[in-house]
Amino acid sequence: MRNQGHPESSWYAATGSPFADLPPLDGDIQADVCIIGAGFTGLGAALELARKEVRVVVLEAARVGSGGSGRNGGQIHTGQRREQPWLEARLGADAAMALWGLAEAAREHLVGLIAESGIDCDLRPGLIHARHRPGGEAEDAAFIDHMDRVYGCRRYELLDEEALSKALGSGVYFGGMVDHGGGHLHPLNLTLGMARAAVAAGAVIHENSRASGWRRKAGKLAVETARGEVTCDRLIVSGDGYIDGLSARIDARVMPINNFIAVTEPLSDPGILPDDMAVADSRFVINYFRKTADNRLLFGGGENYVPWFPADIAAFVRGHMTRIYPQLSGARISHAWGGSLGVTMNRLPYVRELEPGVWTAAGYSGQGVMLAPLVGALLGRATLGEREEADLLSTLPCPPFPGGRLLRWPALVAGMSWYALRDRFG
Ligand SMILES: Cc1cc2nc3c(=O)[nH]c(=O)nc-3n(C[C@H](O)[C@H](O)[C@H](O)COP(=O)(O)OP(=O)(O)OC[C@H]3O[C@@H](n4cnc5c(N)ncnc54)[C@H](O)[C@@H]3O)c2cc1C
């Protein structure tokens, strides 16, 4: 089943900064705003609200950062999950420009948050996009030109096959580009740092306090847990890949998928990622990798679409890793773990006011490190009536997955597996 708690097998848990247990909710309490989920979204909202002296209570089913936020690849992808030309074609030039502005604000927000809260999370610059098929160089060059002309963005640099092979220490790709605005970080330490900052600003966080639902109560909202409830004026529901039946509307649109990571023993080969950038490739099931601060290779590869993890995650990821780095076929894997993330049909985040005073954001589809802290803050603002940006995100289309809660799994498995096969043989 999906892991809860910080997986002990995770390199992040092994190197995370100390964070004392926070007591579960025990009894009935009051708050202005209650937040469900202590990941980037929930903590981004908590921090924003607590700094504005709003009484905020966060309910976390397991531990702070035990969802995707504390387990992910740590890759900072700039922009939205869909590229600007895709957004222009589907949503129009104005909406695409507004979404670019929001993504840029998210990048600044993340960097500012880390700096002003003094969060030690190994932030490093540079993310390489690597092409796994021949051809495509002209398309990459056109994209770089488009981003410069339309958005004034000059952060991308084209890499030919030789330059890419040198930057990676692997010759399996056919060229790509560097996004000098992207980068990577230690996501659990970012999450714990956000929680510390929120608590210091006055937020209350209860761990091991799963919200089982909410109801209207005398003009307010009551959020229920096993041992008490929070009565509040507004509610923010985060939970992403871990939401698990709390809201049928979210469930219909945000599908949890599982993704897996392995970390090697410290590398002896200085040729692997000498510039310390992160890499994501162009496969549908993306391979993504980077070095850790203690010089290991952290490699994300392989997904599954069922409610359980493979028995041997290290072996599951090793195959993907050694196709790119055959020189690591004998390397020991010191840590391996999995996690769940929410994806939407069109890979755009699902941000909505579910009912008056109840907001949600989820389904960042692999782009949450950069987007979620700001989107959380925007939901916080929306609960105070500053709704402009949350309203913009709410206009993004987010169709339900076909098949409903029970039948969507077979449909997703069939659809995703087809794309995965196309990666291999297409
Ligand atoms: C293996 C993996 C690799 C990834 N790699 C990247 C990457 O490199 N870059 C990137 O941008 N994104 C990546 N992602 C996605 C990213 O982690 C997510 O987009 C992001 O963490 C979402 O943050 P969140 O706060 O919305 O949700 P989460 O961090 O998942 O937090 C949700 C929290 O809600 C809690 N919760 C759920 N239900 C309840 C309830 N009923 N009551 C109380 N609490 C509840 C959960 O316990 C959890 O702690 C990856 C995800 C995974 C799993």
> How confident is the chain (426 residues) per 10-residue block, as mean pLDDT?
64 95 98 98 98 98 97 97 96 96 97 98 98 94 98 97 98 97 98 98 98 97 98 97 93 94 97 98 94 98 86 95 96 96 94 98 96 98 97 94 67 60 49
Distance from the alpha carbon of residue 256 to the mean position of ligand 1, in angstroms: 10
Rounded to 5°, angle at Cα 336 from 296 and 79: 70
Centre of ligand 1 from the C-alpha of residue 154, in Å: 31
Q: Could you tell me the two tokens for 333?
A: 């894997």
The reply to whether CATH 3.50.50.60 applies to domain 11-415 is yes
Answer whether 0.85 is exceeded by the pTM: yes
- The C-alpha atoms of residue 6 and residue 8 are separated, in whole angstroms, by 6
Give the per-residue pLDDT at 410. 59
Residues with CB under 6 A from ligand 1: 36-42, 59-62, 66-69, 71-75, 77, 210-211, 238-243, 246, 259, 261, 288, 300, 339-341, 362, 364, 366-370, 372
Reference 259, options 77, 22, 3; nearest CA is 3
pLDDT given for residue 413 in this prediction: 62
Ligand 1 atom with minimal separation from the 225 CA: 42
What pLDDT does 303 receive?
85
From residue 357, how far is each of 32, 236, 261, 295, 352 by CA, in Å? 11, 8, 37, 46, 11
- Asked whether the beta carbons of 196 and 65 are under 8 A apart, the reply is no
- Confirm if 292 and 77 have CB atoms less than 8 A apart: no
pLDDT at 414: 60
The residue nearest atom 35 of ligand 1, judged by CA position, is 37
Domain residue extents for the chain: 11-415
Residue 51: predicted pLDDT: 98
Q: Quote the pLDDT of residue 426.
A: 41
**How confident is the model at residue 1, as a pLDDT?**
41
Which of 80, 113, 240, 279 maximizes ligand 1 atoms within 8 Å of its Cβ, making it the mutation to test the pocket? Answer: 240
Q: Which atom of ligand 1 is nearest to the CA of 63?
A: 49
Substitution site in 25, 47, 48, 69 for ligand 1 pocket (most atoms within 8 Å of beta carbon): 69
For 177, the 3-state DSSP assignment is strand
Atom 4 of ligand 1 has which residue's CA nearest to it? 72
Cα gap 237→129, rounded to integer Å: 33
Atom of ligand 1 lying closest to residue 43 CA: 25
Spatial CA neighbour of 371 closest among 15, 76, 49: 76
Burial 261-278 (b: 16+ CB within 10 A, else e): bbbbeebeeeebbeeebb
Q: Cα(288)–Cα(311) distance, rounded to whole angstroms?
A: 21
Distance separating alpha carbons of residues 19 and 383, to the nearest angstrom: 29
According to the model, what pLDDT value does residue 422 have? 55
Residue 74: count other Cβ atoms within 10 Å of its Cβ: 26
What is the predicted pLDDT for the residue at 311? 92
Cβ pair 176, 27 in contact under 8 A? no
